[in-house]
Amino acid sequence: MKMILFRLSRLISVVSICITTLGFWLISSLIIKHDYANPYYSWYGLAEAVGVLVISPIVFILIFNWICFGRLSIWIKNPIKENIE
User: How high is the pLDDT of residue 82?
Assistant: 63
* Model confidence band, residue 37 (pLDDT cutoffs 50, 70, 90): low
User: How high is the pLDDT of residue 54?
Assistant: 82
Say which residue, 34 or 52, is predicted with more confidence.
Answer: 52
Number of H helices, E strands in the chain: 4, 0
Residue type, 18: C
User: Which pTM does this prediction carry?
Assistant: 0.72
Q: Tens of pLDDT along 43-72?
A: 667 777 777 878 888 999 999 999 998 889
